[in-house]
C-alpha cells in the first residue's frame, strides 16, 4: 500500500477541508440537489417509521438501506434497489445453507468467511452487477457471523433480508411518489439527469482490454479474504460485538471502480484514499452524533430534527464534488449507524461507540494486511532484480 508522508496527509486534509467548505456554502433550499436531499431524508424517516411499527431490531441497517438506494433519477435508484434485494436474498440463502456446518470449527468458520469475502470482492470489482455481488457478500458475512453465537440461522437470515427489504421499499416508495409528482406537474415523466457510465460498465470494458485487470481483482480480493480470515479466527474464540461493522467495512472499502485502480501508478493508493475518506466521514459523523445524542435525550421530535439535518447534509455532499462525494456517503452511513439505536428514541452512547469502533478496526486491520502485501511485493521485486 502506498505510504503517505506527513506532508501528503496534510495536503489531503487541507484540500478536503477546502472542498467540503465549498460544498457547505452551496447548501440551498431549491434545486436538484435539494430535492435529492429531501427525498433521501423522507426515505430514511419512512424506513424508521416502518421499523418502529414492525418492532425490528437492527434499525440502523434498515435506515442505511433506505439511504444508500436513493439516487438522483428513478432508473438508477430502481436498479440499485433490485441489485440490493437480489444480492441480499442470494447471500442470506447461501449463508443459511452452509452456516450449520461451518460454525462448528474455527478453521471452517474462518475459511468460509474468507471465501465469501474473496469471491464477493472479486466479482464486485469486475461484474456488471457489482452492487449486487457486494450485497451478497456482505449479507452472507453478517449471517455467518451472527450464526456463530445464535443457532437460529434461518431466523437471522430472514431478519437480515427483512431489514433490507423495508429500507429498500421505503426508498423506492418515496422516489416513485416524487417521480409521479413530476409526471403530473409537467405532463410527462421528467427526464433523468445525465449520469456518467457506471463503474461496473467501465469495469467490464477494462476487463476486455487489459491483461492486468484479473490480477488486480485477485490481489484485492485476497487481501480482504486474509484480513477477514484472521479476524474471524479471533472472533470464533472472543466474540467481537462490533464484528459485523468490521466485516462490512473491509468488504466495502475494497470495491473501487476498476478503472481507478488501473489508472493508479500504485493501485493500492486508490484503496488507501478510499479508506482515508471512509475514516474521515465516520469521524465527522461520530463528532456530530456524539455531540447531539446527549443533548436530545429521549425526545422524539428533537431526534427526528437532528437525524433529518444529518441526512440532508450527507446527501448534499454525496451529490456534489467527486473529490468529497464518498465522504458524504460515509458520513451518512456512519451517522445512521451511530445515531439510530435499537430503541429508536434512545440516546445511549455505548452501542453507537461499538459500531464506530468496528468501522475503525476494519480500516486499521485491512491497512495492516495491505502494508504486509506491499512489503512482500518489494522483497520479491528486489529478489527478482
The residue-averaged pLDDT of 193-212 equals: 48
More confident residue, 378 or 269: 378
Q: What is the pTM of this model?
A: 0.84
What does the pLDDT average to over 24-51? 88
Print burial letters for 204-221: b (CB count within 10 Å at least 16), e (below 16): bebbeeeeebeebbebbb
- The secondary element (H helix, E strand) that includes residue 179 is helix 153-186
- Per-residue model confidence (pLDDT) at position 87: 96
pLDDT in tens, 117-144: 999 999 998 778 899 999 999 999 999 9
Compute CA distances 183 → 169, 180, 189, 191, whole Å.
20, 5, 4, 10
Give the DSSP letter string of 250-276: HHHHH---HHHHHH-SSTHHHHHHHHH
Q: Is the pLDDT of residue 114 over 50?
A: yes
Would you state the pLDDT for residue 108? Answer: 94
Distance CA 90, CA 135 (A): 9
pLDDT for the residue 210: 54
Residues 6 or more apart in contact with residue 241 via CB below 8 angstroms: 354
Is pLDDT above 50 for 198? no
In the chain, the percentage of residues whose pLDDT exceeds 70 is 84
Domain boundaries along the sequence of the chain: 6-189+199-384
Question: What is the tens place of the pLDDT at every residue in 212-267?
Answer: 778 888 888 999 999 999 999 999 988 777 788 899 889 988 887 766 666 654 55
- pLDDT for 196 beyond 70: no
Query: What's residue 199's pLDDT?
Result: 47
- CA–CA distance, 367 with 132 (Å, rounded to integer): 25
Amino acid at each position: 500500500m502506498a505510504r503517505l508522508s506527513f506532508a501528503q496527509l496534510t495536503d489531503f486534509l487541507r484540500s478536503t477541508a477546502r472542498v467540503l467548505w465549498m460544498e457547505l456554502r452551496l447548501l440551498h433550499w431549491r434545486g436538484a440537489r435539494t430535492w435529492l436531499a429531501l427525498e433521501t431524508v423522507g426515505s430514511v424517516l419512512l424506513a424508521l417509521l416502518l421499523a418502529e411499527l414492525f418492532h425490528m431490531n437492527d434499525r440502523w441497517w434498515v435506515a442505511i438501506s433506505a439511504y444508500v438506494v436513493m439516487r438522483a433519477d428513478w432508473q438508477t435508484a430502481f436498479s440499485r434497489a433490485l441489485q440490493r434485494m437480489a444480492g441480499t436474498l442470494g447471500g442470506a440463502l447461501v449463508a443459511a445453507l452452509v452456516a450449520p456446518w461451518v460454525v462448528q470449527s474455527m478453521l471452517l468458520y474462518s475459511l468460509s468467511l474468507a471465501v465469501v469475502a474473496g469471491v464477493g470482492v472479486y466479482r464486485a470489482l469486475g461484474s456488471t452487477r457489482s452492487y449486487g455481488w457486494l450485497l451478497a457478500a456482505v449479507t452472507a458475512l453478517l449471517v455467518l457471523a451472527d450464526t456463530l453465537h445464535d443457532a437460529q440461522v434461518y431466523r437471522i437470515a430472514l431478519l437480515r433480508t427483512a431489514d433490507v427489504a423495508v429500507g429498500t421499499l421505503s426508498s423506492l416508495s418515496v422516489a416513485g411518489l416524487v417521480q409521479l409528482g413530476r409526471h403530473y406537474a409537467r405532463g410527462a415523466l421528467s427526464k433523468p439527469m445525465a449520469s456518467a457510465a457506471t463503474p461496473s460498465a467501465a469495469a467490464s470494458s477494462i476487463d476486455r482490454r487489459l491483461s492486468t485487470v484479473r490480477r488486480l481483482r485477485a490481489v484485492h480480493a485476497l487481501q480482504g479474504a486474509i484480513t477477514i480470515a484472521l479476524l474471524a479466527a479471533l472472533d470464533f474464540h472472543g466474540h467481537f460485538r462490533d464484528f459485523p461493522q468490521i466485516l462490512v467495512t473491509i468488504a466495502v472499502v475494497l470495491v473501487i471502480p476498476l478503472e481507478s485502480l488501473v489508472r493508479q501508478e500504485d493501485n493500492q493508493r486508490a484503496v488507501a484514499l478510499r479508506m482515508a475518506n471512509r475514516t474521515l466521514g465516520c469521524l465527522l459523523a461520530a463528532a456530530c452524533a456524539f455531540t447531539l445524542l446527549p443533548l436530545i435525550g429521549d425526545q422524539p421530535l428533537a431526534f427526528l430534527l437532528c437525524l433529518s439535518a444529518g441526512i440532508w447534509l450527507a446527501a448534499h455532499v454525496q451529490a456534489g464534488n467527486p473529490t468529497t462525494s464518498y465522504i458524504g456517503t460515509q458520513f451518512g452511513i456512519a451517522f445512521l449507524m451511530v445515531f439510530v439505536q435499537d430503541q429508536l428514541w434512545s440516546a445511549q452512547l455505548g452501542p453507537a461507540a461499538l459500531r464506530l469502533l468496528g468501522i475503525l478496526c476494519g480500516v486499521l486491520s485491512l491497512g495492516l494486511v495491505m502494508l504486509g502485501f506491499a512489503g512482500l511485493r518489494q522483497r520479491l521485486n528486489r529478489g527478482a532484480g
